[in-house]
A and B are shown apart, each in its own frame.
Chain A
Amino acid sequence: MEIEVRAVAKLRESPAAQAVLSPIVEALCSSPADLSRLRVVCDWIQYRSNFREPVTCRPVLAAVPPAGPPGSPPAESPPGSAGESCLEVAVDLRRLAGADAAALVASALAARAGAGGGGGRERPSPAQIMLEPWVPGRMSCIWRFNTLYWQALSHWEKATGREYEQALPGGESDARNAGAARELILELFSIWDDLAARRALPGELYVLEIGVGNGSQARTWLDAFAELDRSHGRDYYRRLHYLMGDYSAHVLERARQAVAHHGGHVSALVLEATRPAVTLGFLAGKTFLVYMSNVYDNLPTDEVACIHGRMYRVEVRAFIRAGDAERIAGRFGTTAGQLCSLTDRLLRIGPELMSESLPQHFADTGQAVSFWQEVWDAIRLAERYVPLEGLDTYRVAPSLTGEILRPLLEAEGDVRMHVSNGALSSFAGTLPLLHPFGRVVCHDLFLTGRHQYRTGFCGPGKYDGSVVNWVNGPLLQLLASRRGFGVQFSPFRQRPSANVKTLTAQVRD
């Protein structure tokens, strides 16, 4: 048996966290589990709202489960001695502190054994209502919830009575920093002056912001630009095109109003952040600044792990505890068994049409939003590890195979980390947009060193109605390096102690 405590800082700081370890070991020793094939990982999940149970069992499969007939969900894995190489018990120290840890561990192991952990085919647990088959993390329905959040944000905000920014830590986006904006603008002026002297300055000067939020960053930046340009005297403002891109038309409209006084210098585009080139191909090689704030942490991701030297992909399955399902179903006049199809319908058509098409369950849009919020709050993720047979067979992003992961996985030994597929795809699609003297500036929740996967929990968590994962900074750094860009991380200037870091990417060499 091995025990990995990732919450190393909390373990030192928290006597309650320390006190939990001993009961966990005692509970495991008292169980019939094969201790030689057991590993325990202890996290400290900082997100109050998350997808984890305090104790979870995760089978580590010995082989890729056989695919079922076309169109059918993937076959259940045969857990236990035949199909599992080992079992991982995942513990949230924060929630176990003060609880009966031994009982919770014993209960989780018993439930696992009851689900077929003894060696036969896995049986669905009556304690859980499954919302999907086993899928890679980025394919989970939690990302459909995330999409719905941004598409139907106005309904969500109406129901909660607050704008989404207020749900962020600190109550506002990280995007407002006039000082940093002025610094960036003056650097741009310097580059442009130099290019102009060499007759190499393009006629149109493009700046792109992806994920504009409520437009406060754009407004801060453009106001500063206009003011600095007046004193600089080169008339760059006349040539400036500020493009605002966002997935949410609702958010984009709000941003557009915020910068309306800049008139024709601003264009607003609905775009999919993971595929910027689809909308912005015309900017290839032309953009002097791409600005992003808190976009990457909200894009779909898989997780991969190296366990005992073998590589695995983490598969997940969203479920709702039976008790929660009964409660939600009762409130909306349905049954727990119908919850899965109702949820799927909500994710397909949104709350407005939901209430129109099913008035017997949802009297109005507000009722449908309440259903949405309750299901979202109740969703948990079961996890398992499936062997990754060849990194090159794993398509990380449209233009990337899993080979990009190899240097990190090989360097780190046994580790579990995010692939940040959406962020990688977005970043890979953004770099070609840059002018040779352009740069990407991105504020986000970045891990800046590989070791951080050993020392903390990096998601997923729930931010209001959206998903948050810390972004694999070293992987972005590696990708950029392979494409001729250098990436640097620095503390976020506005709040240096914040978890948010600033990524800057520009041409290397």
Chain B
Amino acid sequence: MPGNVSEPQVLLPTTVVGSYPVPEWLGRLKTEYYQRRISAQHLGEIHDVVIKAAIKDQELAGIDIVSDGELRRDNDIGYFLARIPGIHIPQRAKADYYDYYDAEVTRPLPEEDGASLGLAADFAFTRQQTHRPVKFSFTGPFSLSRRIRDSAYPSTGGLVRALARRLNAEARSLARAGATLLQIDEPFLAGYREHAGLAIEAVNIVTDGVGVTWALHVCYGNRYARPSWEGHYDFLFPAVKAAHVDQLVLEFARKGLDDLRLLREHSWDRSLGLGVIDVKSAQVETPGLVASRIRRALGYVPAERLMINPDCGLRHLPPEIARQKLRAMVAGTALVRAEITRPPGGGRGSGTRRLPAAAARSGPGAGTGSPGDGTGAAPAAAAPPGEPAAPPARRPAARARASQHA
């Protein structure tokens, strides 16, 4: 039954970064709410339905670790700011749901007041809908701080740390609710490279004492399907090495794989969430292209430490394109898995390492490579969608690292 789930047990597990497509009709309904034309209860019920659908989509695509698609959120910032005590938002009605609030802090944020942002309830709902492992993401303190006018703290760091402490309390609630994989998103960090040290310090405040697998996602922005910044990931290093996280989730599909060298140069010894799907393009990648990106990444990060995901959230893609992209990602990953586990002399079914069914599972269309790309192999053993993953071959435990940091 849903809710009774363990860690993903596959090599090269596929996952999402967080957000899922918001179709135009859903956007309109959300806007109706922010213009006070439908009630919060009605919108909440709508969200329940679309989250179930998003999870089902991911399961059908064969994604190993699913998310709620962040579909309850107006955007990556407002959902949190509106819930954090002490943040003043003078105007909560919006012309469009996706707009950012104008938010300000005039006094230091209250702390240890027991207030909840409600993320644990969001997670609990998602947990109930699927057998699969769930990734739950939230925006990090540094990026949240970038959208707040601050007249309360003498320096940028004061507000960032206060936000981090609030998020730490929320992370503890999430862990108590059963979350095992939490992801901190820092979409603004690439625009403020000089603050990388502060952002990492804040990440460590968030993760402190929370014994889950932690991922940190840093991208170049995905507002309206456009990058907000340009550049290279060099600004992350070496600061990020001090982050108490188990995975670094980065975008590579849109920007190319050149920055993989940074992982080797800086001896990154934890997992990498490899972005293999360009979420800013409606062109669907072939499984072959996905596989080629993974193969190249394997030159820098061993398979045991590689997670496969899109560059960023899928929010701005048309739903059908997003589904196709996820299927291509799963199929491309399956190709590489098969190569890795194939015995030296080749031969079907005689691998030295048995892939669990979940790893081989692929949704409709998965494994059907595009004509001419030579990647048409389909996984042999496909389990029905929604069925629990069978026999676990343990992935190296990121949890151990989380515990170490805890």
Contacts and interface: CB of A to CB of B under 8 A. Distances in A.
A435 B231 CA distance: 12
A116 interface: no
A475 to B, nearest CB: 14
B230 A509 contact: no
Interface stretch (B39-47, B219-227, B295-303): B219-227
B223 A484 contact: yes
Interface string A479-491: 0011110000000
A61 to B, nearest CB: 28
A195 B223 CA distance: 20
A92 B96 CA distance: 39
Q: Which 3 A-B pairs have the closest CB atoms?
A: A484-B224, A200-B231, A200-B230
Contacts of A483: 224, 226
A435 B232 CA distance: 16
Interface in A177-208: 195, 198-200, 202
Interface string A458-485: 0000000000000000000000011110
A360 to B, nearest CB: 54
Given A403-B28, A481-B95, A481-B96, A436 B228 contact: yes
Contacts of B221: 436
Contacts of A195: 230
A198 B24 contact: no
B230 A435 contact: yes
A318 to B, nearest CB: 35
Chain B CB count within 10 A is highest, among A200, A403, A482, A507, for: A200
B229 interface: yes
B241 interface: no
Contacts of A435: 230
Interface residues of B, number: 19
B100 interface: yes
Contacts of A484: 223-224, 226
Interface string B165-178: 00000000000000
A432 B281 CA distance: 11
19 contacts: A198-B193, A198-B231, A200-B229, A200-B232, A285-B226, A285-B227, A403-B24, A407-B95, A432-B226, A436-B226, A481-B95, A481-B96, A481-B99, A482-B96, A482-B224, A483-B224, A484-B223, A507-B228, A509-B223
Interface of A: 195, 198-200, 202, 285, 403, 407, 432, 435-436, 481-484, 507, 509
Nearest to B232: A199
Contacts of A403: 24, 28
A435 B220 CA distance: 13
Given A285-B226, A507-B228, A509-B228, 20 more contacts: A198-B231, A199-B232, A199-B234, A200-B229, A200-B230, A200-B232, A202-B230, A285-B227, A432-B226, A435-B230, A436-B221, A436-B228, A436-B230, A481-B95, A482-B224, A483-B224, A483-B226, A484-B226, A507-B226, A509-B223
Contacts of B234: 199
A407 B27 CA distance: 14
Contacts of A481: 95-96, 99
Interface of B: 24, 28, 95-96, 99-100, 193, 221, 223-224, 226-232, 234-235
Contacts of A200: 229-232
Contacts of B230: 195, 200, 202, 435-436
A509 B228 CA distance: 9
Nearest to A437: B230
Contacts of B231: 198-200
A304 to B, nearest CB: 19
Contacts, number: 40
Contacts of A436: 221, 226-230
A114 B346 CA distance: 87
A484 B231 CA distance: 20
Nearest to B194: A198
Contacts of B95: 407, 481
Chain B CB count within 10 A is highest, among A198, A407, A483, for: A198
Contacts of B100: 509
Contacts of B99: 481
A190 to B, nearest CB: 16
A195 B191 CA distance: 10
Contacts of B24: 403
Chain B CB count within 10 A is highest, among A195, A285, A432, A436, for: A436
B26 to A, nearest CB: 13
Nearest to A482: B96
B155 to A, nearest CB: 22
B268 to A, nearest CB: 20
A507 B100 CA distance: 13
A403 B28 CA distance: 10
A329 B39 CA distance: 66
Contacts of A507: 226, 228
Contacts of B235: 198
A484 B232 CA distance: 23
A482 to B, nearest CB: 7
Contacts of B232: 199-200
A403 B24 CA distance: 10
A285 B226 CA distance: 8
A250 B80 CA distance: 56
B73 to A, nearest CB: 15
A436 B222 CA distance: 11
B99 to A, nearest CB: 8
Contacts of A482: 96, 224
B237 to A, nearest CB: 14
Contacts of B224: 482-484
B31 to A, nearest CB: 9
Contacts of B229: 200, 436
A195 B231 CA distance: 9
B395 to A, nearest CB: 36
A290 B228 CA distance: 18
Contacts of A285: 226-227
A482 B235 CA distance: 31
B30 to A, nearest CB: 13
